Amino acid sequence: MLKRYLLAPGPTPVPHEALLAMAAPMIHHRTPEFSAIFRSAADGARGLFGTEQPVLLLASTGTGGMEAAITNTLSRGDRVLVVVAGKFGERWAEICDSFGLVVDTIEVEWGKAVDPQDVAKALAENPETKAVLVQGSETSTTVLHPVAELAALTRDRDCLLIVDGITSVGVVDTRMDEVGIDVIVTGSQKAMMLPPGLALIALSEKAWRFAERADLPRYYFDLDKERGSLEKDTSAYTPAVSLVIGFKAVLDLIAETGGFAEVYRRHAILAAATRAGAQGLGLELLAPESPSPAATGVYLPADVDGAALVKTIRNELGVFVAGGQGHLKGKIIRLGHIGYADTFDVVIAISALEMALAKCGADVSMGSGVAAAQQKLLEMYGDGGA
Ligand code: PLP
């Protein structure tokens, strides 16, 4: 038997509290019983987003939420500025392009965060730009972008800041209203600790004003319609009933275990310990300057076949980690610590990396990564809370 560990940057494991809640017999969605759950889940999501605005729950993966963000706020021929710092930045550009928007891009070296000055310069050159689109956390390069600094640039313009928060909401403290984010999206299979299939999205007052004039084609993802339904504690179409029930269970679990602050602290600690572990092994980080607390990208030694290493970890050791995407394929490994992850997930990930490196013929001092990760965990938990 090979015991499996899911340590990728999503989907993440699902806590048993949510699994059990979702295993209950199906209920109808147009009932007071489900409406109460739906309302409670949508209200709880506002804490995660840091907003007083309604958070809409869509039956879709995160990409559907990204599409909804665009089609509900922009119009044919609008000019947009997309930060392309990895695979998911490319996705923003592709969606904008397929809806006929005029797309300017800022290409950022993979592994680096966008420099807000480059965005300021681009906005000055094209003052008619209607939206800046960026990832909160670019999962393909494990980088955290400076969203608050970008919001300071769009706040007083006729321009929206649209954030793909798929691996940043529930990972870092996302104060949408305070910071001035106009649209933010996330998906259930990441920090929400649920199976895939639920997208969550919120719009600022400014974005709702944009929505009044937005003329891009849309039908299923009509956010104004969803907002109207949410006011009546329901959704426009059949909701992802089980996932909403699971989401309510996850929110209850978070509330019972220290609240959102504890969630952000845990992600920060696990990320720091994973980085320490990789460095303890003598490996270089992909994003040392602005690392995401959702996942850690690590360069593999040049003489190691990266694809074979990922296969070894997954198939021989049972640890499902992610490889590189795009031009980083075969060169890096990405260790997820998002969602339902804790102390020993880090130890397992680093230990598996050490063993797989040894199996692939790398010169590795067994235990050096694990020791560094353990040291960092003890240091950061300090109070023995690990
Ligand atoms: N954006 C980011 C930053 C992601 O990490 C992902 C998934 O990994 C997506 C978008 C795509 O989300 P989904 O696969 O849920 O459509």
Catalogue all structural domains in the chain, each as residue range(s) with its CATH number: 17-256 (3.40.640.10), 258-384 (3.90.1150.10)
- Tell me how far the alpha carbon of residue 171 lies from the centroid of ligand 1, in angstroms: 14
Cα distances (Å, whole numbers) of residue 9 to 74, 138, 166, 201: 30, 11, 10, 20
Measure 384 CA to ligand 1 centroid, in angstroms: 34
Cα(160)–Cα(181) distance, integer angstroms: 8
Over the chain, what is the mean pLDDT?
Answer: 97
Nearest CA to ligand 1 atom 13: 62
Establish whether residue 10 lines the binding site of ligand 1, counting it when its CB lies within 6 angstroms of any ligand atom. yes
Distance (Å) from CA 64 to ligand 1 centroid = 10
Cβ(72) to ligand 1 under 6 A?
no
Q: pLDDT tens digit string along 38-64?
A: 999 999 999 999 999 999 999 999 999
pLDDT at residue 230 is higher than 80: yes
Q: What is the reported pLDDT for 385?
A: 53
> In this structure, are residues 154 and 134 in contact, taking their beta carbons and an 8 Å threshold?
no
Q: Is 375 exposed, middle or buried (0-12, 13-18, 19+ CB in 10 A)?
A: middle
Helices (H), 188-240: 205-213, 223-231
Whether residue 4 contacts residue 318, with contact meaning beta carbons closer than 8 Å, is answered with yes
Q: Whose CA is nearest to atom 6 of ligand 1?
A: 166
Q: Does 376 score more than 60 pLDDT?
A: yes
Q: Is the pLDDT of residue 98 over 90?
A: yes
Check if 53 has its Cβ closer than 6 Å to any atom of ligand 1. no
Pairing of strands 131-135, 79-84: parallel
Task: Give the whole-angstrom CA distance, residue 331 versus residue 325.
Answer: 9
Band the pLDDT of 217: cuts 50, 70, 90: very high
d(CA 211, CA 194): 29
pLDDT tens, position by position, 280-319:
999 999 999 999 999 999 999 999 999 999 999 999 999 9
Residue 199 · residue 346 · CB < 8 Å: no
Distances (CA, A) of 137 to 172, 295, 323, 370: 9, 9, 17, 26
**pLDDT bucket at 94, cuts 50 / 70 / 90:** very high
CB atoms closer than 10 angstroms to residue 53: 18
Which of 346, 275, 331, 334 has the alpha carbon at shortest distance from 300?
Answer: 331
% residues pLDDT > 90 (the chain): 98
Taken in order 13, 19, 21, 26, the sign of the CA dihedral is positive
Q: How confident is the model at residue 228 (pLDDT cuts 50, 70, 90)?
A: very high
Are the CB atoms for 305 and 317 separated by under 8 Å?
A: no
Under the banding of pLDDT at 50, 70 and 90, the label for residue 383 is low
Task: State pLDDT tens for residues 171-203.
Answer: 999 999 999 999 999 999 999 999 999 999 999
Look-up of token digits 């809640």:
21
Cα(185) to ligand 1 centroid in Å equals: 10
Rounded distance between C-alpha atoms, residue 293 and residue 372, angstroms: 18
The average pLDDT across 126-131 equals 98
pTM here?
Answer: 0.97
Distance CA 357, CA 304 (A): 8
Q: Cα Rg for the chain, rounded, in angstroms?
A: 21
Confidence of residue 382 (pLDDT cuts 50, 70, 90): confident
